[in-house]
Every structure is written in structure tokens, then in C-alpha cells.
Amino acid sequence: MPSLKSLRNRISSVKSTQKITKAMKMVAAAKLRRAQSQAEAAQPYATRMASMMAALAQGAASNPNAPKLLVGTGADKRHLIVAVTADRGLAGPFNSSLSRAAKARVRALQAEGKTVQLFAVGRKGRDSFRRDMADIMMGDVNFVGRKTVEFKDAEAIADRIIAAFNDGQFDVCTLMFNKFVSVMVQTVAETPLIPAAGGPANDNEKPEQSGTADYEIEPDDGSLLDRLLPRNLAIQIYRALLESSAGFYASQMTAMDGASRNAGDMINRLTMNYNRTRQANITRELIEIISGAEAL
């Protein structure tokens, strides 16, 4: 039977833990709102960019001189996986589920005999990959100590990826991130970055059907695509970063909510235990007094 003092200490320590998790939940909720509105604000650009890309890619994909960023190198041998995680933990399965999915993907590709490289965005993912896949890490970035992600950050990542691609380090690039479905649900999503057109798969669609073919293009298809493709890549990464950050705060909020509730349960149990022990002590003392009086 634990002593009353040790029970009191435990109750107060669980209470202060609960205070911390409650505060973290509130902070995560506030940050989630900000991250969500940032993600919504970035939506129009991405939508317009996608429709413009579609209009241009249709014509260019069948062109033998189409930019490699659009149609790929023609090979499917060397892969790069860009995995987006958060820099901080205490967010339930947020980081671990993504790292696990990325590692599973890497092993699956390796089993098919392909060469795989990893690029980690976010500190947690980097740490996890370094443990058992250090030899295939191409690089990493993180935003430790930063309040929000900016488009410039995404652009910097895109520049590194494009530079490595132009250098011939890989053929196919896939982006993996936690997609924000709702506050309760974040799922691991994959987006192909290179080739942007998803290969020549859209050959069997009728080119004129969407009516985009009648655009005039200035200066010309090729040089416009040369500018548009890197931009599109950066936008995809930016969107993934924003979704991931919204998902992170949602996940953290859920995790901290659960933790606060568990702490509450624990406090109840300990308090019950404390009161029982206290009453048992009183009863025992009473018995001692009464039996002492009777013996006289």
C-alpha cells in the first residue's frame, strides 16, 4: 500500500502534466487554424497553375523534344522519394506513419531492383531515416525554429531537386506527405513530381476535348514550359508542406486531447486510491484506540 504522501505527490505531478498537455492542445488548435487558412489561401494559385499546365502539357507531351521535367528521362530505374514530416513530435502517429510508409515504399522499389534515394523534409523523418537508411539519404532540410513555411522554402527544395535531376541523379521523383483530410484523419499521400505529366499516359485521351488547345502561347510552348515546370514543382511542394503542417497541428491537437483525457482518468483513479487509503488509515487508528480502551 503506497503511503499517502507518495500518492499526493503522484496526483500533483499528473495534474501538472495535464496542465501542459491542455496548454499544448490549445496552442496546436490556434496554430492549426493558421495553417489551415494558409493552406486555403494557397489553393487558387495551385488550381490555376494546374489548369494552365494541363493546357500546355497536352500539346507538349507528344513532342519528342518535350522538356524532361514533363515527360521524364524515359527510364524508370532510379527513384527519388521526397518525404515530408514535421520537425517536432508529440503528435501521435503523424511522423512515424509517414516514415513507415516511406520506408515500405523504398523497400518495395528496391525489391523490384530499382535504385532509391531519399530526401527528407523535416527533422523527425530525417532522424528516422538516418537510423536504418543512412546510405541512401540524398539530403535533408528542416524548418526548426520557424513559425510558418513560406513559398521561398518550397522553391529552395524544388531548386535542389531540379539541380539533382538535371545532373542525372535519378529518373523519377515522388513526393510523400501527410494529407490533411480532417482534424481527426491524416493519410499518407503520394504525388509524382517528375515526370510531371505522369508519363505519356494521356496519349489515349482526345487532345481537343477540353477546348484548351486553342490558346495562343507567348513566347512559345517550349520556353513557357521551361519556366512553368520548375514553378509547378515548387507549388506542389509548397502545397505538400502546407498540408503537412496543417495535418501536424491537427494530429498534435488530437494527441494532446487524448493525453489530457488520460491524465484526467489517472487523476480520478489516484484520488480514489488516496481517499481509500486515508479512510483505511483512519479506521485502523480508530480500531486501535477502541481496542485499547476496551482492554482497560
Please report, as ranges, the residues that interact with other proteins according to CB under 8 A: 38, 41-42, 44-45, 48-49, 51-52, 55-56, 150-151, 154, 166, 214-219, 223-224, 226-228, 231, 234-235, 238
- Give the nearer residue to other proteins in terms of CB position, either 28 or 69: 69
At its nearest, how many Å lie between other proteins and the CB of residue 47?
9
d(CA 270, CA 8): 9
d(CA 178, CA 11): 37
Cβ atoms of 49 and 144 closer than 8 Å: no
Q: Could you tell me which of 94, 179, 173, 99 has the C-alpha nearest to residue 138? A: 173
- Give the nearer residue to other proteins in terms of CB position, either 7 or 242: 242
At its nearest, how many Å lie between other proteins and the CB of residue 155?
9
At its nearest, how many Å lie between other proteins and the CB of residue 208?
14
Place of cell 480508530: 286
- Amino acid identity at 134: A
Grid coordinates given for 88: 517536432
Cβ atoms of 84 and 240 closer than 8 Å: yes
- Give the nearer residue to other proteins in terms of CB position, either 49 or 267: 49
Task: Please count the residues of the chain.
Answer: 296
At its nearest, how many Å lie between other proteins and the CB of residue 48?
5
At its nearest, how many Å lie between other proteins and the CB of residue 236?
11
- Give the nearer residue to other proteins in terms of CB position, either 48 or 276: 48
- Give the nearer residue to other proteins in terms of CB position, either 10 or 231: 231
Q: What is the dihedral of CA 219, 69, 51, 33, to 10 degrees?
A: -120
Burial 174-208 (b: 16+ CB within 10 A, else e): bbbbbbbeebeebebbeeebbbbbebeeeeeeeee
The gap from C-alpha 156 to its chain's centroid, in whole angstroms, comes to: 18
At its nearest, how many Å lie between other proteins and the CB of residue 168?
15
- Give the nearer residue to other proteins in terms of CB position, either 24 or 158: 158
- Give the nearer residue to other proteins in terms of CB position, either 151 or 274: 151
At its nearest, how many Å lie between other proteins and the CB of residue 227?
5
Strands 172-180 and 186-194: antiparallel
Count CA atoms closer than 13 A to 185's CA, side-chain side. 4
